[in-house]
Structure 1
């Protein structure tokens, strides 16, 4: 595992350099005083409000980032790893990993966070977390002793540690005992404990006085107050007026305005991630026709999306991973509306009286599942696809509601962003998007050639071979138009008011125990 980290650090450096070229806000704002404020309550806005506090729930949004839950391993913004509840980890054999836990930790209830409890938590994720089944399904967990968790896989799995970063460890026994009550009153390990929770709207939490046995320095923030902020302009105005201290879904337009304020706000923009369009080949017969997928891909005007929609804070996508990473392909689709129209003509999709193409009684008309942050993109694509005879209508939903709809396959075309990004688990990311039968392969895409390469990649430890296998798989996916790749963007950063201190740039969207408020 440690041998392969060199390529991931190189990848992270490329991503960070790309980000620096795109521009970013001040990370060291000047405040009026370095004295702590009397009230240490951090107020913030986010689009991703949880509907449940149970970590296995599909809509348990931001409970890791907000300090309620913790994972065994933490992934930094630059795609490297750091310890979480586990102090270290190693491969004992190619199919056996050992994780050493911190000793003496407890859940909020006082129950010990030992290897047996972590085993039970991961097994509950495996059984009940819809997104975990395809990832944890082939793993077996065992408590070797109180502080040693052993994980056995069916095949060698170099990316295993990266895949454990999203699973909040919780008291599975209490979850079974409390039942549905666990959604609003869980038993977790974080430094913030909820005291008020309105699903999808507000979350108030207070510092846990027994966190990790009261470590030196303790928790500086005493309280967090999170609320839903669907409108990007309203989130920015709340921060500027002092009604909020932070927001965690900074859009491109708002980023520009924050940066114009000079040193007044800190704006942390993430490494670029690929924006893509999901195509439901399971539900929509027309999308099984490669000619239709190619037309959607070719008709998408990436220059217009980059220069107009993103004000230049993006680059045209070359494939699943952002260009410049060692495992990304060098070139992607070149927009060509005339070619898109010719492909549809050749495949028998002819324009009707209203300009919409049809074949054998089936019209090329699709609903685009979208939500607030993606609606401008959906509107732009609607106009671009219309030019080649493809009709669409918007099907906007509340952001969090889209999670279950995608999982259920309740969409035709979607702007939903499980966005391709720099990662330490190349195979795991490709597998989650494209492997036949995987839960998070929302559109039901299937290609035996891609499956074979992804499976081979998943057992490969050599970084150079990993990169080559990833490129081979992406070339197949590009040619087959598994998804429509549009652009790599630095959208959805974090913005903080000047009085917020202790933000860690490599975990910029996380509330951390060392954060505090100045006067």
Structure 2
């Protein structure tokens, strides 16, 4: 598979991107067209720094923009920065696009960049890891900013493609200078209001019910869409969402359950766009507490024992999950990153040990748990494709080897509050690196949680060698050496059974015929590319 990141270019010591327009010129089509679409959940917040969740960030990307963006094939493209370079090994200089205005008419300048990145680093931000290497920000002039690091970071541009810029004046005026943390249940003006530089603005919003967006008249980009209004409706029920598409109530729905693909494709007015996700679903196990929560294994934590973690792995029939729950569309994951993520190596993408319930029972007995033990599994029921059904299946499989698991399935808001607060013993969570690079997976889901890294390492897996390699990978400019270190780090986690990768789900978007959208493997719908015949 062709990789979306041309890392050998991105890691060039003097990497300089020319300044073509982010969007090519396109003749505007007929005006007055409304695009109606539905997803299974609503954005968790309008604060662009509040939660590092793929859907929330991609949705907010219609209103807010980063310095460096992504094109239709996930390639790096200029956004609010027209070019970037390294005048010194530990400095990235960003040349800002001039003439850009926020939706309220305020000019975009270097002051907004520095304010936004300082805000990203504050407590309450879930995006701090994207600029964890940045130690200082310097305004060269109104349209030039230097980001300074303690040591070289050749991949900074790919790390910040979902790190959005806010208006300093707007945030300060409205008491939103600090992030409104979703995890801590903190809210401020930015939670329910937005003011970005993006192609759309929010015209009206009823959280959890409906949001209307309209084109931003101040947007700097050249128009490709002929949509004059967008109506977004969160519809959690798969059946209701599909029915809305088939009846013509909406123009697009996603995700489409595999069992409904044939119905949509068999309807003359609709079709299904298919692909494969870059998100890896994984199981995290508490490897930190001395006593496992909500367990009859009193005074100890069985999940600290590698034999127990391997037993859990060998008790799970990944083929059954793929075939019976995912309709044969998922890719069983042998490693923590998907094909298409930079650093992926197919040699690692195989099972660490075969599905073997009898071997799992023997491992549990060897570890001192011949009769198993009890614990709770945390799972979302509205975030990932078939999330609760997958968790139910895993609970059943673990029960066959003597592990008594109680499933705690909740809405994604409550789920993230719980697991990101490290209040979990065993959880299924997904991770798609915003940089589309393996370093993000290592830093954010596998590095020992400390300061701003390891945020999504909810089981507190810790291997000092993995931490050491993660730091080296971030600064290594030689692609071959870098990939070798990624392979080594991923192998260590795999051998430790530090996490259990499950799969990458298949992508399926249902659209009415005459609706033109760009299906990207990051599952992000970009409204600026939507057109209606």
The TM-score with structure 2 as length reference comes to: 0.82
Distance 2:114 2:438 in 1: 25
User: 1:276 is matched with which residue: 278, 282, 303?
Assistant: 282
Distance 1:383 1:40 in 2: 49
8 Å CA contact 1:370–1:394 kept in 2: the answer is no
1:316 alignment partner in structure 2: 332
Distance 2:519 2:492 in 1: 39
1:238 to 1:463, Cα distance in 2 relative to 1, 3 A: same
Counterpart check, 1:290 vs 2:310: no
1:302 to 1:99, Cα distance in 2 relative to 1, 3 A: same
1:259 to 1:218, Cα distance in 2 relative to 1, 3 A: closer
1:153 alignment partner in structure 2: 149
2:528 alignment partner in structure 1: 513
Counterpart check, 1:370 vs 2:391: no
SS in structure 1 of the partner of residue 36 of structure 2: strand
1:209 to 1:318, Cα distance in 2 relative to 1, 3 A: same
Distance 2:421 2:314 in 1: 28
Counterpart check, 1:337 vs 2:357: yes
User: 2:423 is matched with which residue: 389, 407, 410?
Assistant: 410
SS in structure 2 of the partner of residue 368 of structure 1: strand
Aligned ranges 1:157-236 → 2 under 5 Å: 157-179=153-175, 180-212=188-220, 216-217=222-223, 220-236=226-242
8 Å CA contact 1:47–1:399 kept in 2: the answer is no
User: 1:62 is matched with which residue: 23, 41, 56?
Assistant: 56
1:341 to 1:419, Cα distance in 2 relative to 1, 3 A: farther
Counterpart check, 1:123 vs 2:118: yes
Deviation at 1:107, TM superposition (A): 1.0
Aligned ranges 1:363-512 → 2 under 5 Å: 363-372=373-382, 373-419=386-432, 424-437=436-449, 438=453, 439-491=455-507, 493-501=508-516, 503=518, 509-512=524-527
SS in structure 1 of the partner of residue 47 of structure 2: coil
Distance 1:230 1:306 in 2: 22
Distance 2:424 2:87 in 1: 43
Structure 2, gaps ≥5 residues long:
12-27, 176-187, 293-300
Deviation at 1:85, TM superposition (A): 1.4
RMSD: 2.8
8 Å CA contact 1:295–1:340 kept in 2: the answer is yes
8 Å CA contact 1:78–1:271 kept in 2: the answer is no
Structure 1, gaps ≥5 residues long:
8-34, 352-356, 358-362
8 Å CA contact 2:377–2:405 kept in 1: the answer is yes
User: 2:43 is matched with which residue: 26, 50, 69?
Assistant: 50
Distance 2:170 2:68 in 1: 23
Q: Which moved more, 1:118-127 or 1:184-193?
A: 184-193
8 Å CA contact 1:267–1:494 kept in 2: the answer is yes
1:4 to 1:510, Cα distance in 2 relative to 1, 3 A: same
Distance 2:522 2:496 in 1: 36
2:85 alignment partner in structure 1: 90
Distance 2:487 2:262 in 1: 34
User: 2:8 is matched with which residue: 4, 8, 12?
Assistant: 4
SS in structure 2 of the partner of residue 155 of structure 1: coil
Residue deviations 1:173-230 (CA, integer Å, cap 9, x gap): 3223212223222221122211222233322222222222xx5547622211112111
Residue deviations 1:491-519 (CA, integer Å, cap 9, x gap): 4x43322132354657873233342322x
Distance 1:323 1:384 in 2: 27
Higher relative contact order (CA 8 A, sep 6+): 1
